[in-house]
Amino acid sequence: MVRSALPLPVTDYGGTGPVVLALHGHFGSARTFGALAWELRGRARVVAVDLRGHGHAERGGPFTRDAYVGDVAELVADSGVAPAVVFGHSMGGVTAFQLAARRPELVRAVIVEEAPAVVQPLTLDVRDWPRRAPTLTELGVAIQRRGVPDPSYFLQGAIRYPDGWGLGFDYDDMMRSQELLVGDWWADWTSVTAPVLLMHGTRSEVLPTVHAHEMVRRRPETSYVEFDGCGHWIHDDDVRGVAAAVAGFLETVDAPAGRDHRASREAS
């Protein structure tokens, strides 16, 4: 894996096949896509980004939608991969389809994992979470004590600071960023002209099934894969299934019209 010198830290997981630019959700980092990149080796080359305020990216805002989209637009334009296949999870998924809507010349195809067109105020309050811990294990235990049964997603982006282990984001920044994600983004979703794959986990509380179906109804050319039994982090719950869905979709991107990629999967 190689870190780039671009303003947003980038992790190139290598591999062969089309480049897939991967955007994580709130509290995440480029590391969240490590297992998926491994599953896609030989079928795609995953290049994952630390978005502003996350991972090894610089701290501080603004955390507006325009700022996030502008960051990724600049990255795509400067990296030589335009038009790019852009994959986004949760907040990263909203960023991906907004980029496709607002800068269509930069996007070849969009893969959206668990990102609604209308974001409700389901803010995760992290302000009283532990700031530092002597070990990564102790940091995880401290997060569990705050009511998080499985802290693995948050620990993927943890950083060893001089004074101990801590999470890869500023807590107040994340509160503000979550607030600014809330909104009605139907206009962006329905105006995307690039091919789109939408992936939904039936146990998700962030993207209800009825809303996922409405996204497909309003944009009927959308390819849709439903993962039975999976929650919001499908790429963790069923990484092989997500890899198969992504690889199958990529095969259709340059194929003649008329190929249907809609399906339903059971979590493995």
Structure tokens at 12: 């190139």
What's the chain's length in residues?
268
User: What's the distance, Cα to Cα, between the start and end of the chain in Å?
Assistant: 28
Phi, psi values for residue 266, rounded to 5°: -95, 140
Fold held by 2-118+170-266: Rossmann fold (3.40.50)
At 256, the pLDDT band (50, 70, 90 cuts) reads very low
Structure tokens at 67: 């700022």
CB of 17 closer than 8 Å to CB of 9: no
| pLDDT exceeds 60 at position 234 | yes
**Per-residue model confidence (pLDDT) at position 265:** 53
* Domain limits, CATH 3.40.50.1820, in the chain: 2-118+170-266
pLDDT tens-digit series, residues 92-103: 999 999 999 999
Mean of pLDDT values over 141-153: 93
Q: How far is CA 102 from CA 39, 99, 218, 242, in A?
A: 31, 5, 18, 26
Least confident of 164-178, 209-223, 243-257: 243-257
CB of 125 closer than 8 Å to CB of 99: no
Structure tokens at 33: 């896509």
CA proximity to 247, closest of 30, 37, 8, 4: 37
CB of 36 closer than 8 Å to CB of 235: yes
**Per-residue model confidence (pLDDT) at position 264:** 53
Least confident of 56-65, 79-88, 250-259: 250-259
**Per-residue model confidence (pLDDT) at position 60:** 86
CA proximity to 9, closest of 39, 43, 54: 54
Does the N-terminal peptide bond of residue 220 adopt cis geometry, omega within 30 degrees of 0? no
| pLDDT exceeds 70 at position 258 | no
- Across the chain, where does the E strand assignment appear? 2-3, 10-12, 19-23, 45-49, 84-89, 107-113, 118-119, 159-161, 164-166, 183-184, 196-201, 223-228, 263-266
CB of 125 closer than 8 Å to CB of 148: no
Distance CA 64, CA 176 (A): 9
Distance CA 249, CA 247 (A): 5
pLDDT tens-digit series, residues 165-186: 999 999 999 999 999 999 999 9
Phi, psi values for residue 23, rounded to 5°: -115, 120
